[in-house]
Amino acid sequence: MTSPARRRCAPTRPPCGKNDSTADQAIGERLEQFESFITNVKSLRYDVERQFQHENEVLQQHVLHLDMTDGSHQEIHALLYF
């Protein structure tokens, strides 16, 4: 059975770029990572550290706070451009 996230992505979409210094991935590969990720995360929240806006562009830096199902906690620093 195909996940709802996978059904929303056309197979001809360009690869996903990210800021973790690894190579671009196909949409399907990236969604598989997210599917395995969500099974291990109990809760997630984020704090916006900075946000810059210019016309139709936004650059946002934030920190994800993850509570994992094994009781551990993690922080992930992320940068989004849209």
Pick the residue with more confidence: 60 or 14? 60
- The CA-atom distances, in angstroms, between 78 and each of 10, 37, 41 are 26, 16, 17
Look up residue 8 and give its DSSP letter: T
**44-61-53-31 Cα dihedral, nearest 10 degrees:** -60
* Residue-wise pLDDT tens digits, 23-76: 666 767 777 777 777 788 899 898 999 999 988 888 999 898 999 999 999 998
d(CA 32, CA 80) in angstroms, rounded, equals: 21
Q: What is the pLDDT, as a whole number, of residue 9?
A: 54
List Cβ neighbours of 80 (8 Å cut-off, separation of 6 or more).
58, 59, 60, 61, 62
If one compares 13 and 59, the residue with the highest pLDDT of the two is 59
